[in-house]
Amino acid sequence: MSKIKPQPGILEIAPYVGGASSIAGIDNVVKLSSNENPFGPSEAAKEAFRKAAFDLHRYPSTDHAALRTAIGEVHGVDPERVICGVGSDEILAFLCQAYAGPGDEVIHTEHGFALYRIGAHANGATPVEVRERERVTDVDAILAACNRKTKLVFIANPNNPTGTMIGEAELARLADRLPKQALLVIDGAYAEYVDNYDGGAALVDARDNVVMTRTFSKLYGLGGMRVGWGYGPAHVIEVLNRIRGPFNLSHAALVTAEAAVRDTDWAEKCRQDNTRLRAWLAEALAEKGVPSDTSTANFILARFANQAEADACDEYLKSDGLIARKVAGYNLPNCLRITVGDEASCRRVAHAIGQFKGAGE
Ligand SMILES: Cc1ncc(COP(=O)(O)O)c(C=O)c1O
């Protein structure tokens, strides 16, 4: 037995399993397992990426000033209190590294995103799972779980994989009542898909115990580029910047993300298409006897009678070249998470699920 041991907590981590992207023996697959933008990034972003090829020998900016300025202008936030990371994953990891260690507790909700638990364990802290109410974040249950050891409270709003969200008054109530030493992290990976929602930015501005994280991986279609950002009070951003590697983002990533965030027309087109196709898909599935909660994100959580039916439907979809996401690991064994694809993909999924349900009758 080797005497070389990792830090406490590391071996508790169940490695993250990403969405599948291929099916053996099938060429024309549609990947609906990772909540990617089916239309990809804007032309301006692709052009910026191509131009970046001429500067590959140069080290990138260390302060990300141009990207932070663009984010500030487009999202109406103070660029001085923005931090950019290798996906919002990196910002979530910085938060855990900076604020949670052995003896501390990190709260996440029952069906919350896997990275919160991983981040807690990675730093020797204890993740605490809090039940949701019918697949919706329950502020009272979170408050009841808080104690002197609570250092971080993660909620995704909208949540992944449920697609549900809570309102701004509930977020403010949560922030107001947290213990003094706890930081509320509002993960806004899907915030851009919601009408008239700032992702929690106003709450960040109003308080000193709230941080918001955002990503370029969803609406902006840059999942492969790995760019995310956080917005928080000065004292938190200053701490996170101390642990951020000086060259964490490549020049290509920085300029591509900057062009993407500035192309508000493309973002708006993608947002509107998602809203329309999401409503269509949810209704089409409901008609076939597969209900879902009202989703505010770019996916739908389809509910089946039980795990056996969900698994059988997943196999049926795969045989048709359609890759959905099983979410048993999120305590939702009777559900499949299906990304809202383009119109043709939505029709294909609805048709296949209709055939599956018909075959089962
Ligand atoms: C709720 C939530 N937060 C954060 C992320 C991480 O996104 P990224 O690291 O690509 O910015 C995801 C990705 O699926 C997510 O669903």
| CA distances for 76 relative to 68, 140, 165, 174, 265, angstroms | 11, 31, 22, 23, 17
Structure tokens that stand for 30 in this block: 């549609």
d(CA 212, CA 202): 10
Spatial strand order of the sheet with 228-231 comes to 82-85, 228-231, 210-215, 183-187, 150-156, 105-109, 126-130
**Under 8 Å CB-to-CB from 107, ≥6 apart: which residues?**
127, 128, 130, 142, 145, 146, 150, 152, 153, 154
Q: Is the CB of 36 under 6 A from ligand 1?
A: no
Q: Is the CB of 89 under 6 A from ligand 1?
A: yes
Return the pLDDT at 142: 98
Residue nearest to atom 13 of ligand 1 (CA): 189
Q: Is the CB of 217 under 6 A from ligand 1?
A: yes
Q: Is the CB of 302 under 6 A from ligand 1?
A: no
CB atoms within 10 A of CB 340: 28
Give residue 269 CA to ligand 1 midpoint distance, Å: 21
Short-list 263, 193, 264, 218, CA closest to 45: 263
Q: Is the CB of 49 under 6 A from ligand 1?
A: no
Return the pLDDT at 26: 84
Structure tokens that stand for 259 in this block: 């062009």
User: pLDDT in tens for each of the 361 residues of the chain?
Assistant: 889 999 989 999 987 777 778 888 888 899 999 999 999 999 999 999 999 999 999 999 999 999 999 999 999 999 999 999 999 999 999 999 999 999 999 999 999 999 999 999 999 999 999 999 999 999 999 999 999 999 999 999 999 999 999 999 999 999 999 999 999 999 999 999 999 999 999 999 999 999 999 999 999 999 999 999 999 999 999 999 999 999 999 999 999 999 999 999 999 999 999 999 999 999 999 999 999 999 999 999 999 999 999 999 999 999 999 999 999 999 999 999 999 999 999 999 999 999 999 865 4
Q: How is residue 58 annotated by DSSP?
A: S
Return the pLDDT at 68: 98
CB atoms within 10 A of CB 222: 26
Residue to mutate (ligand 1; options 34, 217, 337; most atoms within 8 A of CB):
217
Give residue 114 CA to ligand 1 midpoint distance, Å: 10
**Under 8 Å CB-to-CB from 2, ≥6 apart: which residues?**
none
Return the pLDDT at 345: 97
Beta bridge partner(s), residue 186? 155, 212
d(CA 171, CA 206): 12
Q: Is the CB of 158 under 6 A from ligand 1?
A: no
Give residue 18 CA to ligand 1 midpoint distance, Å: 11
Return the pLDDT at 360: 53
What is the bridge-based pairing of β-strands 335-339 and 325-326?
antiparallel
Give residue 35 CA to ligand 1 midpoint distance, Å: 9
Atom of ligand 1 lying closest to residue 227 CA: 11
Q: Is the CB of 137 under 6 A from ligand 1?
A: no
Radius of gyration of the chain (CA): 20
Pair 181, 216: CB distance under 8 Å: no
Tally DSSP H helices, then E strands, for the chain.
Answer: 12, 12
d(CA 345, CA 338): 11
Residue to mutate (ligand 1; options 34, 71, 118, 187; most atoms within 8 A of CB):
187
